[in-house]
Chains A and B, each alone.
Chain A
Amino acid sequence: MSSRDSRASGRRQRLLAAGPSPLALIVLSAAVGLLLCAYTNALSREGGDPTQLVYWAGVLLVVVPIAARVGMEDVSLRERFALVALFGLSLYAIKVIRDPFLFTFPDEPIHAYNANQAMLHHGLFNGNPILPVTSGYPGLASATSALMSLSGLSSFTAGVILIGLARLLLVLALFVLFTRVSGSHRLAGVAVVIYAGSSNFLYWGVQYSYESLSLPLLVAVLAAFAEREAAGSRLARAWVVPIVLGTLAVVVTHHLTSYALVLVLVLLAVIYRLVRSPKPNPWPFAVFAAVLAVGWMLIAAGNTVDYLSPVFSDAVTSIWNTVFGESEARGLFQSASAEIVHETPFVARLITLAAAGLLLAGFLAGLREAWARRSKRPFVVLFCIGGAAFFATLGLRFAPDAWETGNRAGMYLFIGLAFVVAYAVLRLMREGPRQRLREAAALGSIGIVVIGGAIAGWPWDSQLAQPTRITAEGAEIESEPITLARWIGEQLPERRFAAADADARMILAPGEAEAQTGNALAIKTILPETSLSNWELPSLRGNGLGYLVADRRKAATDPGRGSYFFVPGSEENALLPLAAMHKFGERRLGRVYDSGNIVVFNLRNRP
């Protein structure tokens, strides 16, 4: 190196030393990313049509600098840990920014209702009219009610805080787990960032729902388990306490997660045996978790089988029919309510497919290196199996009734995939010729994987916020279904309703009343049809329903889009024929509420 070069290098190092630390700059970058996301969401709430490029740039400002830093060699454990925490909380804040006023994701009002009922009755297991199985798994309602009772906050604010803590636990537990299994906190940091490429990470996995709490608990139990395995005999006993506590919490919080935990522990027990691990076989934990999960299902959540069996049998039938050509394969980027969904743009589709391709390439590239550690770490085998299974579940996306099963399973399987792919990323970033180029390629790939996952997991037109609360001449007004729900909460003494999916959810929370919807009592059929059969209204009355909410908006049947303001010209704001409303008037039912698109009929008020 010439003296001029060395002087320049020295100058650069002095400048770097005088400037802010990388961690401080990354914190600033994440904050700016959040601001961009808030700005785009605000434009979208205004009813404008902002370019999503700005939004995704905001997401990348959070993801890429953190990915770059955690992937570096000379970063301390403490800094990596802080970066991982920042990563989890910043991406969670993007969801909070999208829905700042109330819960609008499909499952959120259902669980908010459970928490409100726990507060109202000072107890759990109060039943749920839309998703009865949730009442048998009261972990989320219990935790939320604790925060509500102690702070006086609403279920919305308490829920937002609680899920934020759960998200923090998820990323910290992943980091601890990956560090222990790989022996490298550098690899662990990269793997946590890659995990954000799971299609449910950005939105679905942080909605106020029981799985959003149980999955982090499951990962933390696995992390504690991995720590126990590595600890000496004295410390191993100490790790049993969090493992048992976490297992109990998972079992009372979510059915599928508790079964996933049992499955993982059983698989680990088998792997321990196959690789002849010198460590004690974990089968007692598997048996413990299995007994708890089955026991809880039998004692407190007897309707779980009724709830889950159609989901799985439909999935199996759908796969069969799709494979043998008896039914049409589901198109990608298409949800159940396809007729009112905007099309995902070509570039977005391309990014998602590229993400899947990059993950496959990463998995194949990282597999050999990861697999080499299998004899020392049975968890590695589990992760490799999980990663391979993830690609198998991608096939489920082509079967109409199985895609959701595949999508949900992905949240669990992606843990293994992220671990294996992290080996490939670190290999790409290894020192050598054209290192900068390879690092840029790795970071670009991570960006594509995270964005592609988000696009795959959530409808394109729902990535940004829609108006639920707006200002008009200085006052604040809310959308039609929300105003209806608040009116019901304040005025109506009788509180049992039949309503379309989105309206029913708003009636549960914030309306805090009881609503039936969907296939229950044929409500899904009764509401949109243009004439009534003689048995329909007596059936609703006979089942104790006092009111019926008729909504002309087609979006009312879509729990993800039905709570927004009506914006003319948008595809999701198509209306049902007027006859769908008039048929109730023809039966001379009392009309107690009319806001244009929504009319509430009193089923018992007749001439």
Chain B
Amino acid sequence: MRGHRDLKWVCAAAVVAALVACLVPWETVRLLAALPLAVFLPGYAIAAAAFGSQRLDPQRLAMLTLLCGLSLLCLGGIVLNYLPGGLRTVTWALLLLLVVLATARAAALRRGKPDGPPSGWTRPRLRGIDIACVVLAAVVAVGALVFAYTPLPASKAVGYTALWMLPPKDAADPALKVGVISAEQGRRHYRLEARVGENGKPTRYHLALDPDEERVIEVPVETPAGKRTQVVVSLYDSERPHQLYRRVTTWTAGSQPGEG
């Protein structure tokens, strides 16, 4: 690849990007490496290998880079699917790196002699006022995206509360997990009643939840061995304390002696 500066840069960038994608924990940094590694570098290298010493104009090169890069991504997963390891960070990084190195090598061989004089592509001359205009546009566009990605209050949207109940994950644990999630528009007060068995005395809990707050309570249940007991958990909103707001129910089975 001696003398082919573009190919050398592509290979070096692919190696660095693969290392960053595999080793760095921060998503944003990894994305900056992942995009070139996944799309642009393989796409460029494949196009370079296909066209050898023929120079492509920027628009055809851009199209080919995207076409080859995206096509490789569509097909690469199918190849990895049948290889040991499957689709993982390391296997994807290795596959893409191998494609870049192999096709860059092929491109260098096909080109033959090193880079000649620079191609007809010239960097556009930018004036200060144009740069200012584009920077302003970038600020406005970023502002639009930030605006879009910022959740706003919506007074007309109806908030709600979710009540849930799940059996314990461990059979030895006799408590049911009961959760209350508030997605209400403001702080709410609740009364929670858990009744074990049809004639059981309800256990009461009083909760106050802010929007997006969740409270999980463990409701102890003792079920006689071999029997099934109904557990009913009811939630009342303090604004309407006598009107049932939410209800969940379950039937628990008592463990046989010796089951723990």
> What is the interface of chain A, defined by CB distance below 8 A to chain B?
18-21, 23-25, 27-28, 30-32, 34-35, 37-39, 41-42, 45-48, 77-78, 81, 85, 93, 96-98, 100-101, 118-119, 121-125, 138-143, 145-147, 149-153, 161, 165-166, 168-169, 172-173, 175-176, 179, 213, 216-217, 220-221, 223-224, 227, 234-235, 238-239, 241-242, 245-246, 248-249, 252-253, 467, 469-473, 475-480, 483-484, 487, 491-493, 565-568, 590-597, 602, 605-607
How many angstroms between the C-alpha atoms of A346 and B159 in the bound complex? 34
Contact B148 A96 (CB under 8 A): yes
With contacts A25-B133, A149-B87 known, what are 16 further pairs, Cβ within 8 A?
A21-B127, A37-B144, A85-B62, A146-B87, A147-B35, A150-B92, A151-B27, A169-B67, A172-B63, A217-B71, A241-B46, A242-B47, A248-B74, A249-B70, A472-B183, A567-B158
The contact of B154 among A34, A46, A119, by CB within 8 Å, is A46
The contact of A483 among B89, B124, B143, B183, by CB within 8 Å, is B183
How many angstroms between the C-alpha atoms of A467 and B46 in the bound complex? 44
How many angstroms between the C-alpha atoms of A19 and B127 in the bound complex? 10
Contact B30 A152 (CB under 8 A): yes
B164 at the interface (CB under 8 A from A): yes
How many angstroms between the C-alpha atoms of A146 and B92 in the bound complex? 6
Contact B67 A224 (CB under 8 A): yes
The contact of A491 among B47, B73, B166, B246, by CB within 8 Å, is B166
The contact of A475 among B50, B51, B211, by CB within 8 Å, is B211
How many angstroms between the C-alpha atoms of A41 and B160 in the bound complex? 23
Inter-chain contacts of A28 with B (CB < 8 A): 133-134, 136-137, 140
Contact B181 A100 (CB under 8 A): no
How many angstroms between the C-alpha atoms of A451 and B139 in the bound complex? 26
Q: List 13 A-B contacts (CB under 8 A).
A: A20-B133, A24-B130, A35-B147, A42-B147, A42-B152, A47-B157, A77-B57, A85-B62, A146-B73, A238-B54, A473-B186, A592-B164, A595-B161
Contact A35 B186 (CB under 8 A): no
How many angstroms between the C-alpha atoms of A42 and B179 in the bound complex? 32
Q: Mark B113-134, 1 if CB is under 8 A from A, else 0.
A: 0000000000010010110111
CB contact under 8 A between A35 and B140, given known A153-B27, A213-B70, A246-B71: yes
Inter-chain contacts of B87 with A (CB < 8 A): 118-119, 122-124, 142, 145-146, 149
Inter-chain contacts of A47 with B (CB < 8 A): 154-157
> What is the interface of chain B, defined by CB distance below 8 A to chain A?
21, 25, 27, 30-31, 33-35, 37-39, 46-47, 49-52, 54, 57-60, 62-64, 66-68, 70-78, 81, 85-89, 92-93, 96, 124, 127, 129-130, 132-134, 136-138, 140-141, 143-145, 147-166, 169, 179, 181, 183-187, 210-213, 228, 230, 246-251
Contact B78 A38 (CB under 8 A): no
Contact A34 B54 (CB under 8 A): no
Contact A593 B75 (CB under 8 A): no
Specify which of B47, B57, B162 lies most central, judged by the most chain A CB atoms within 10 Å of its CB: B162
CB contact under 8 A between A473 and B133, given known A42-B147, A122-B86: no
Shortest distance from the beta carbon of A472 to any chain B beta carbon, whole Å: 4
Shortest distance from the beta carbon of A381 to any chain B beta carbon, whole Å: 23
Shortest distance from the beta carbon of B176 to any chain A beta carbon, whole Å: 10
Contact B158 A32 (CB under 8 A): no
Contact A31 B68 (CB under 8 A): no
CB contact under 8 A between A77 and B59, given known A143-B77, A470-B153: yes
The contact of A124 among B59, B77, B183, by CB within 8 Å, is B77
How many angstroms between the C-alpha atoms of A602 and B231 in the bound complex? 14
Contact B250 A567 (CB under 8 A): no
CB contact under 8 A between A606 and B251, given known A138-B78, A477-B212: yes
Inter-chain contacts of B64 with A (CB < 8 A): 224, 242
Inter-chain contacts of B169 with A (CB < 8 A): 493
Inter-chain contacts of B184 with A (CB < 8 A): 472, 477
Contact A566 B154 (CB under 8 A): no
The contact of A593 among B38, B86, B186, B248, by CB within 8 Å, is B248
Shortest distance from the beta carbon of A502 to any chain B beta carbon, whole Å: 16
How many angstroms between the C-alpha atoms of A41 and B210 in the bound complex? 27
Contact B63 A223 (CB under 8 A): yes
Return the chain B residue nearest A185 by Cβ: B59
How many angstroms between the C-alpha atoms of A457 and B230 in the bound complex? 51
Shortest distance from the beta carbon of B246 to any chain A beta carbon, whole Å: 4
CB contact under 8 A between A161 and B156, given known A25-B133, A476-B151, A594-B246: no
Contact B59 A172 (CB under 8 A): yes
Shortest distance from the beta carbon of A98 to any chain B beta carbon, whole Å: 8
How many angstroms between the C-alpha atoms of A213 and B129 in the bound complex? 37
How many angstroms between the C-alpha atoms of A19 and B128 in the bound complex? 10
Contact A151 B66 (CB under 8 A): no
Shortest distance from the beta carbon of A545 to any chain B beta carbon, whole Å: 18
Inter-chain contacts of B127 with A (CB < 8 A): 20-21
Shortest distance from the beta carbon of B57 to any chain A beta carbon, whole Å: 8
CB contact under 8 A between A473 and B181, given known A150-B38, A596-B246: no
Contact A143 B73 (CB under 8 A): yes
Inter-chain contacts of A124 with B (CB < 8 A): 77-78, 81, 87
How many angstroms between the C-alpha atoms of A225 and B152 in the bound complex? 48
Contact A252 B78 (CB under 8 A): yes
CB contact under 8 A between A467 and B133, given known A168-B66, A249-B75: no
CB contact under 8 A between A151 and B141, given known A146-B77, A238-B50: no
Shortest distance from the beta carbon of B137 to any chain A beta carbon, whole Å: 4
Inter-chain contacts of A213 with B (CB < 8 A): 70, 74
Inter-chain contacts of A101 with B (CB < 8 A): 149, 151
CB contact under 8 A between A478 and B31, given known A249-B75, A472-B153: no
Inter-chain contacts of A591 with B (CB < 8 A): 165, 247-250
Inter-chain contacts of A27 with B (CB < 8 A): 133-134, 137
The contact of B162 among A46, A483, A602, by CB within 8 Å, is A483
Contact A149 B86 (CB under 8 A): no
Return the chain B residue nearest A243 by Cβ: B67
Contact A477 B86 (CB under 8 A): no
Shortest distance from the beta carbon of B240 to any chain A beta carbon, whole Å: 13
CB contact under 8 A between A245 and B158, given known A20-B129, A38-B148, A607-B251: no
By Cβ-Cβ distance, the 3 closest A-B pairs, closest first, are A142-B77, A122-B86, A47-B156
Shortest distance from the beta carbon of A600 to any chain B beta carbon, whole Å: 8
CB contact under 8 A between A470 and B154, given known A38-B147, A124-B77: yes
Return the chain A residue nearest B122 by Cβ: A78
